[in-house]
Structure 1
């Protein structure tokens, strides 16, 4: 059983039910350290089931041979998430066509924020600027939110 070398915290805008399940399962298989579902301006506001999420995490951790079980917290507003975590680790915003040159080698703990299907609102983008958050471009193509979450975790875990 293995422990991941890097602690990746996945913050994702809550999606429709089965898409959340998929993100939770795959992120767990890839070695994510903590899952933080967030409320953003353009996402689902209800229907997130923490008990169901925990069950999926445990099954995925066992299936993938992980020595640990990633934590999941109750959904949190985007601004609260940034206020709570931005001082503890680098937070990266997934944005197509936007990227700051940022080296993550040697960084053992970081967070990645995945926006909702409709993208981040202007207010949310302003919030990212105020906190000087870095952007990471994970694909030349426009990805669905659930795909972006998995690609981002995979890239950061191996980076």
Structure 2
């Protein structure tokens, strides 16, 4: 029987009972059919992961008791995703997969060809939390409020930003990711994906003028925006992220 794993925005320390949310109480009692004394796993993004038990459970009220830390808190790499506002189902899928891939910040952006005019960040945060609980990561990604692409670029802090572009002269993403690894940029990068139909020429020109932006290509086929988002993150995590240790021995 699997042990439920829950995120709590509460300090975690041995023996100190903490309240669960009403939704978590319903999940434990009505969905998972758990009772007082049953095991759970807790994390809060600050104090590591904890073995815990249900101290009390009744309808929508529940308290949980941390017992022992099973994993210490690890440093979260500064890996980000900027993604054009997509249709609801597609964007929710991207947020779920980006969370599983260990991304720390997800920034929706409005581009000239964006098909969505609004973004429900509260709903996306719930999806991210559920994905973090299931994927055993120790933190939640931050879901930023959507910005116009130009505003996001104007406020950028200089972190290397790789932009998926359709220009034929753009180098492959894999080679740029390998260069990031060689330069020691293993924990600070961002991936930008445009909307269905791609960026408009003026947006590509604006990206080209930014010194922190590198335009890259994702191969010979046209990808859906959500496919490009996840494929790019997988490449970056494999070559310049936390998937492989001592990667420098195997590239270049």
| Superposition TM-score, scaled by structure 1 size | 0.91
- Aligned partners of 2:143, 2:92: CA distance in 1, in Å? 13
Unaligned regions of 5+ residues in structure 1, if any?
Answer: none
Number of residue equivalences = 158
- Which stretch of structure 1 is more off in the superposition, 69-78 or 127-136? 127-136
- C-alpha distance after superposition, 1:106-125 (max 9, x if no partner): 11211111010011001101
Q: Which residue of the other structure, out of 66, 86, 90, is the alignment partner of 2:160?
A: 90
Structure number with the higher strand fraction is 2
Which position in structure 2 is the counterpart of 1:68?
Answer: 139
Which position in structure 1 is the counterpart of 2:193?
Answer: 114
Aligned to 1:125, the other structure's residue is in SS state helix
Q: What is the Cα deviation at residue 95 of structure 1?
A: 2.0
8 A Cα contact 1:93 1:114, kept in partner:
yes
| Superposition TM-score, scaled by structure 2 size | 0.59
- Which stretch of structure 1 is more off in the superposition, 49-58 or 127-136? 127-136
- Aligned partners of 1:37, 1:142: CA distance in 2, in Å? 21
8 A Cα contact 2:81 2:105, kept in partner:
yes
8 A Cα contact 1:11 1:38, kept in partner:
yes
- Runs of 4+ in structure 1 displaced over 3 angstroms? 1-6
Q: What is the Cα deviation at residue 44 of structure 1?
A: 2.6
Structure number with the higher helix fraction is 1
Unaligned regions of 5+ residues in structure 2, if any?
Answer: 1-70, 240-252
8 A Cα contact 2:82 2:191, kept in partner:
yes
- The Cα RMSD (Å) is 1.9
Which position in structure 2 is the counterpart of 1:10?
Answer: 81
Is 1:126 the counterpart of 2:205 in the alignment?
A: yes
Q: What is the Cα deviation at residue 129 of structure 1?
A: 1.6
Which position in structure 2 is the counterpart of 1:155?
Answer: 235
Q: What is the Cα deviation at residue 3 of structure 1?
A: 5.0
Specify whether residues 71 and 121 from structure 1 end up closer, same or farther in structure 2 by C-alpha distance, changes over 3 A only.
Answer: same
- Which stretch of structure 1 is more off in the superposition, 101-110 or 69-78? 101-110
8 A Cα contact 1:14 1:38, kept in partner:
yes
Aligned to 1:104, the other structure's residue is in SS state helix
Higher relative contact order (CA 8 A, sep 6+): 1
- C-alpha distance after superposition, 1:49-103 (max 9, x if no partner): 1110000000000000000101011100101111112x33011111244227531
